[in-house]
Amino acid sequence: MPSPTLAIFLVIVGTLCSIILIRRASQSHNKHVQKLPPGPWPLPVIGSLHMLTTLPHRGLQKLAKKYGPIMSLRLGNVLTVVVSSPEAAELFLKTNDSVFASRPKLQATEYMWYGTKGMAFKAYGSYWRSVRKLCTLHLLSSSKIVSFAELRKEDIRSMMEGLKRAAVAREVVDISKLVGEVIANISCRIILGKVRNDIDGLTGLVGEALALGGAVNIADYVPYLAQFDLQGYTRRMKRVSVNMNKMLEKIIIEHEQEAILLLNEQEEEHGMHKGFVDVLLSLMNQPMNPQDEKFHIIDRTDIKAILLDMISASFDTSATAIEWTLSELLRNPRVMETLQGELESVIGMDQMVEEKDIGMLEYLDLVVKESFRLHPVGPLLIPHESMQDITIKGYHIPKKSRIIVNTWAIGRDPKVWSEDVEEFYPERFVGSNNIDMKGRDFRLLPFGSGRRGCPGMQLGLVNVQLVLAQMLHCFNWELPYGTNAEDLDMLEKFGLSMGRANHLLSKPTYRLLF
């Protein structure tokens, strides 16, 4: 909602902006009138920004109930199309994927993601294709993910030992903090080659960047107001950018120095794992994709941007998914008992879960799907942008329109999931093997779909499923004294990823026989 200060500025610039909008409307009318998707009537200057609320996915869901699954809003100067049904999502992310494969420019990505030189926020084109290919080949391929198994095992075992000590002492555990740490450790070892002593600082910067990246920033929609920084976001983004650049520069310098020390020696002799950052540094000053006639030479800024993409994507998303799943299991003891029964039957009570066991845990797969349905990590997929004019379902979608897919609304639509849509009921997925979270069934899109679908999906799922399986197999969990399951706080914190507003606390009891 606009603040009083913002309202004053809106009045000051309202006349000027209205004149500009009228002139644009007149020019558009002179071509010929096109039918836009239905939507609310916009206010001068701000359009429908005031309708988004502090949790935009919920505000947009309410509007979609009135205006339909393909809805248009004038957000400041930006025509935004909101997609809120599986059928509509398929039209935008599959049928017409080539038209909507680009990204809009946002102030957050310009400041904090090195002018979109990474992958997640880059406009569609040869550079984006080259970065995606590079990341997939050297970090996100199936063979690479399998090769990281021992690293995951070490960090998860360390977490289990800490939990055993907490169980003996009958301590309440901050699950949000614990899970965040183990995922950050795993990600650091894979991407940076080792766990860092300053990981808390890096995690804090990533959290701030994701929060700012998902914020409704007036400057993105009414550029004339950007200079006033009415919400204070620009100052915060600049501060994060400076501190993040220092952190990434420090990481790169350390690895450059280590590379010199290890020249002509075997990393294994030093107990070190070669991380993704080392691969990127070995490619510096070389063509990113020599086969592309517009090939780009990898420089230091590219490396920082790519690292930031990989770090921010891996740190928060898996931890958030685990956090929400455990929250729902604590609220639904029947589901937890069923899942632990499967673990006891498949794994046995005399050993821990191994990564090779995950494929045999069918009920775990159902639980994770149900958690993603109710609590998608990204409730609104990263915005797409149309690269040309197009007509969909009789509606005109102009070039440069911003496209928002509300996966949160799709997951809670009773027309899609039946009337018990608010209930955590994993069995709804029984017999629905085609809903595999890979973006091929548009009822469930936790990783997006099409060209801009998340290339780290497989790595993310392995982390989520393995940590959950291990925590639930090794321990029983109960809420702290005085907290009832039905009263457990489930408030959300909106950003590029949507975590819990408050940390999840629980008390473990060791349940294995060794």
Cα–Cα nearest to 187, from 142, 140, 244: 140
Alpha-carbon distance of 108 to 383, in angstroms, equals 13
Predicted pLDDT of residue 32: 47
For residue 163, give both structure tokens.
Answer: 């939990």
Q: Indicate the pTM of the whole model.
A: 0.91
Degrees (nearest 5) of the Cα angle 434, 464, 422?
60
Bridge partners of residue 43, in order along the sequence: 47
pLDDT at position 64, please? Answer: 97
Question: Rounded to whole angstroms, what are the CA distances from 485 to 90, 171, 334?
Answer: 37, 19, 12
211-242 residue pLDDT tens: 999 999 999 999 999 999 999 999 999 999 99
Give the pLDDT of residue 265: 60
Looking at this protein, which amino acid is placed at residue 247?
M
Whole-angstrom distance, CA of residue 155 vs CA of residue 184: 10
Q: Could you state, in chain order, the average pLDDT of each consecutive group of 10 residues for the chain (514 residues)?
A: 45 47 45 82 94 93 97 96 98 98 95 92 94 95 94 96 97 97 95 90 94 94 94 96 96 90 58 80 89 83 96 93 98 98 97 96 97 96 98 97 98 94 96 84 96 95 97 97 90 94 97 91
Looking at the DSSP assignment, which residues form a beta bridge with residue 493?
499
pLDDT of residue 272: 52
For residue 73, the surrounding DSSP H or E stretch is: strand 70-75
Amino acid at 232: G
- Extract the tokens encoding 341: 């029964």
- Gap between the Cα atoms of 249 and 483, Å rounded: 45
How would you label 381-405 residue by residue, b for 16+ Cβ within 10 Å and e otherwise?
A: bbbbbbbeebebeebebeeebbbbb
Closest to 121 measured CA to CA, from 384, 447, 377, 389: 384
Walk me through the domains of the chain, giving residue ranges and CATH numbers: 4-510 (1.10.630.10)
Instruction: Say what the pLDDT of residue 15 is.
Output: 44
DSSP strands (E only) in 84-189: 173-174
